[in-house]
Structure formats: C-alpha cells, structure tokens
Structure 1
Amino acid sequence: MSSPAIRDLVNLIESLPHTVQLQVMKHLRDYIADLQDEKRWDTAFNRTQSALVTAARQAKQQRAAGQATPMNDNQL
C-alpha cells in the first residue's frame, strides 16, 4: 500500500539519472535516520521530564535554603 506522497516521491526519483537517484537515496536515508533519532530523543526526554522538574525544584529549594554550593567546572 502506497500513499500519494510516496508515489510522488518515487516518480520524482525515477525521473532522475541513476547516479543522482543514488545521491537522493543517500540523503533521504540520512534525513530519515535524523528524524528517527529526534523521535528517540523526544521519547527519552518525555520519559524523564518529571524527574528533571523534580531535580530542578529540589535544587532551587536547596539554593534558597543556602545549602547549594557553586559548581566547579574543572570537576566535570
């Protein structure tokens, strides 16, 4: 089953010389891999967002209570 967008893409690519088709496919593979990576990142971020909010609130409370210490960039 093919969507109209897929059929249009196939028609566009088929109209190109073979060497250009290969270049387009490489770019498409890279682009799709980037999209999939972004989706994985978004999923991971959404899964940990509540923990990040909790940690930020705790850090803010510690700072307000004078319990926070300056971060030493050399120890990172």
Structure 2
Amino acid sequence: MSSPAIQYLVTLVESLPDTIPIQVISHLREYIADLQDEQQWDTTFNRTQSALVVTARQAKQQRAAGQAVPMDYNQL
C-alpha cells in the first residue's frame, strides 16, 4: 500500500472521537487477520491443487470401474 494511502487512513482515524479509534483498530486487526488466513489458504490450495486433481481422477476411474463403494457417513 502506498504511503499516502496509509497517511490518509491515519488522518481519518485520528479525526474520530477518542473512543472510536480503538474499535477501528480492532476491526482492522480482525480484517487483516482474515485476509492473511485467506492468503495462506490460497497458497496451500495452489500448492496442493495438482495432487487434488490426481486424486479426483483416480476416484473417478475407480467409480467407473465399479471399485468405489458409497461412504457411510454414520460410521465416521
């Protein structure tokens, strides 16, 4: 993010009544943490996507060959 954008955000927060900036900072921390979690998920997914594709193809082949059995979710 550019420095002018950060400075603008700081100016906005500083212009709020004294009790509000704490709430704003709390929300920003949560928002940034959520963004970081999403970024980590995307990185992990991209790293494992080829393995997921291979596994999905194998499952599809097993099902077509009659080797697959329905999953019993009650036994999990």
TM-score (norm. length: structure 1): 0.94
| 1:13-32 alignment runs, 5 A limit | 13-32=13-32
Please, which runs of 5 or more residues in structure 1 have no aligned partner?
A: none
Residue aligning to 1:12:
12
TM-score (norm. length: structure 2): 0.94
Identity within the alignment, %: 75
Secondary structure of the structure 2 residue equivalent to 1:18: coil
| 1:21-60 alignment runs, 5 A limit | 21-60=21-60
Please, which runs of 5 or more residues in structure 2 have no aligned partner?
A: none
The alpha carbon displacement at 1:75 in A equals 2.4
The alpha carbon displacement at 1:63 in A equals 0.5
Number of positions where the alignment pairs a residue of Structure 1 with one of Structure 2: 75
RMSD: 1.0
